[in-house]
């Protein structure tokens, strides 16, 4: 079966299944059980507030509105705030998230802000007794993740990371098949990601009247307003993230970690190389890169970018998908499985025919936001908990640190510290200096 490169927006979960040389068992294709509307003990629908009214935040809120009543919206861009308020006229409007998390009529928070604001908002909400659905990547640094996981556990809150692939039947089945030995011993994992943006230099411009640019930048270094830094472009700058490595990588590297089982919390070594240098004065995170990981169980992993200007890849017979296809490829001693948003393929038909999988598959929560509200009601652990989100993005952060330092690094997943050669310099990268006043005191 031939395959052409595909680039799905991360919000899209296509329902079709394409399988190389096989038809999936009937039990894998039945309609998902609808998530029931969550209700509190007093039988009232829970309430939800949105912080960050951009594209993903607004998308998540439209999903959340099926399960909860929208009572507040918040953004430092008053244009986006007005658009959200117009859609939910009963919701109060705010420009300071600290006011929102203290509202007595708010049960849950959706955090749809840029990555560099995730942690402070999540911490403030958790300490205020709210449950949180936070967009991924969960944190800007590994140190932030350590702090966040500790606070979630301390306060007994529910936090769901927006890693929707944890709730997708296709990915869940792929994990079950790998873990049950359907491809023999797992040897190598390839996570292929879209390339980032490459361009510049960019000139500063007058600040839009509707945007509080100083607050938008938050903990990151202060810069004059550059349109290409704000909103949908922010991830392609070192200040605010790590390109597609912490965007799509937070999804696919999570799947790579998940497949290896709960005993593997991260790699033990990492190397990385930049494949295309950024333009001075332009997007500062490399648009093309390769990261190689080794795990304590002997499994190796390559995380690399799809060059959107020169894509390649495909499947022919028993040949695994090309290395430039967006998705996750598991290579074992007795075959391979490839999974993406829209495809599940294997080197042989019988790999996908697992008679034991049905019993272990469990009920589906294909609505990831619905899974969050179900867990708000039950107090069970959601599909993508704070610990899951932290460990997944830590894999990405390790790659970004290796890219920045340009050397092989050794990592201790239990201690969450670097060791060996270069450890001192690398451990300094576990946290970033936070620009005042937007540090931890801001939410004290």
Q: Domains (ranges, CATH) in the chain?
A: 47-165 (3.40.50.720), 169-365+385-430 (3.30.360.10)
The tens digit of pLDDT for each residue in 358-384 reads 544 444 467 999 999 999 999 999 999
Per DSSP, the three-state class of 266 is coil
For residue 148, what pLDDT band results from cuts at 50, 70 and 90? Answer: very high
Q: Which residues pair with 296 in a beta bridge?
A: none
The reported pLDDT for the residue numbered 246 is: 98
The reported pLDDT for the residue numbered 366 is: 73
What single string gives the DSSP state of each residue in 296-352? TTS-EEEEEEE-TTS-----BTTBPPPTTSSEEEEEETTEEEEEETTEEEESSGGGG
Residue 434, token pair as written in the block:
């936070």
Q: Which residues pair with 77 in a beta bridge?
A: 211
Is the model's pLDDT at 323 over the cut of 80?
no
- Percent of the chain whose pLDDT exceeds 70: 84
For residue 290, what pLDDT band results from cuts at 50, 70 and 90? Answer: very high
For residue 306, what pLDDT band results from cuts at 50, 70 and 90? Answer: confident
Is the model's pLDDT at 336 over the cut of 60?
yes
The tens digit of pLDDT for each residue in 100-111 reads 999 999 999 999
Per DSSP, the three-state class of 417 is strand
Residue 438, token pair as written in the block:
């937007």
The reported pLDDT for the residue numbered 353 is: 84
The tens digit of pLDDT for each residue in 162-204 reads 999 999 989 999 999 999 999 999 999 999 999 999 999 999 9
Of 8-17, 264-273, 394-403, which range is least confident?
8-17
For residue 325, what pLDDT band results from cuts at 50, 70 and 90? Answer: confident
Per DSSP, the three-state class of 128 is coil
Of 34-38, 83-87, 240-244, which range is least confident?
34-38
The reported pLDDT for the residue numbered 27 is: 31
The tens digit of pLDDT for each residue in 17-76 reads 333 333 343 333 333 323 333 334 444 899 999 999 999 999 999 999 999 999 999 999
Is the model's pLDDT at 319 over the cut of 80?
no
The reported pLDDT for the residue numbered 321 is: 61
Residue 379, token pair as written in the block:
């107090």
Burial zone of 18 (CB within 10 Å; 0-12 exposed, 13-18 middle, 19+ buried): middle
The reported pLDDT for the residue numbered 10 is: 34
Burial zone of 200 (CB within 10 Å; 0-12 exposed, 13-18 middle, 19+ buried): middle
Question: What value does the mean pLDDT take over residues 158-165?
Answer: 97
pTM of the model: 0.88
The reported pLDDT for the residue numbered 39 is: 38
Per DSSP, the three-state class of 209 is coil
Residues 6+ apart with CB under 8 A from 400: 242, 245, 246, 272, 285
Average pLDDT in the chain: 88
């Amino acid at each position: 079966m031939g395959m052409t490169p595909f680039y799905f927006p991360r919000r899209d979960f296509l329902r079709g299944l394409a399988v190389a040389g096989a038809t999936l068992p009937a039990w894998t294709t039945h309609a998902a059980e609808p998530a029931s509307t969550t209700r509190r003990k007093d039988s009232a629908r829970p309430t939800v507030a949105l912080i960050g009214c951009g594209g993903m935040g607004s998308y998540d809120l439209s999903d959340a509105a099926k399960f909860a009543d929208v009572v507040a919206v918040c953004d430092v861009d008053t244009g986006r705030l007005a658009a959200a308020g117009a859609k939910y006229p009963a919701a109060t409007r705010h420009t300071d998230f600290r006011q929102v998390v203290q509202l007595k009529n708010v049960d849950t928070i959706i955090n749809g802000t840029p990555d560099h604001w995730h942690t402070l908002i999540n911490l403030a909400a958790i300490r205020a007794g709210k449950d949180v659905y936070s967009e991924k990547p969960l944190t800007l640094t590994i140190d932030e993740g350590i702090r966040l996981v500790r606070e979630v556990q301390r306060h007994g809150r529910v936090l769901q990371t927006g890693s929707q692939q944890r709730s997708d039947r296709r990915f869940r089945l792929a994990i079950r098949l790998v873990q049950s030995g359907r491809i023999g011993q797992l040897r190598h994992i390839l996570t292929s990601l879209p390339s980032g943006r490459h361009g510049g230099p960019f000139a500063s411009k007058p600040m839009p009247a509707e945007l509080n640019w100083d607050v938008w930048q938050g903990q990151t270094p202060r810069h004059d307003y550059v349109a290409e830094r704000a909103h949908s472009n922010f991830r392609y700058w070192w200040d605010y993230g790590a390109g597609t490595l912490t965007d799509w990588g937070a999804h696919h590297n999570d799947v790579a970690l998940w497949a290896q089982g709960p005993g593997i919390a991260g790699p033990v070594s990492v190397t990385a190389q930049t494949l295309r240098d950024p333009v001075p004065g332009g997007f500062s995170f490399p648009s093309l890169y390769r990261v190689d990981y080794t795990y304590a169980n002997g499994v190796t992993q390559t995380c690399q970018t799809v060059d959107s200007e020169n894509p390649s890849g495909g499947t022919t017979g028993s040949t695994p998908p090309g290395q430039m296809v967006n998705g996750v490829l598991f290579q074992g001693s007795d075959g391979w499985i490839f999974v993406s948003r829209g495809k599940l393929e294997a080197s042989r038909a019988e790999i996908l025919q697992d008679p034991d999988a049905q019993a272990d598959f469990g009920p589906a929560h294909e609505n990831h936001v619905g899974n969050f509200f179900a867990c708000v009601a039950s107090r069970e652990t959601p599909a993508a908990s704070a610990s899951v989100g932290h460990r997944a993005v830590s894999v990405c952060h390790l790659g970004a640190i290796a890219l920045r330092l340009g050397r092989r690094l050794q990592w201790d997943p239990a201690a969450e510290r670097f060791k060996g050669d270069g450890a001192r310099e690398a451990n300094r990268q576990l946290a970033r200096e936070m620009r005042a006043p937007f540090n931890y005191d801001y939410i004290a």
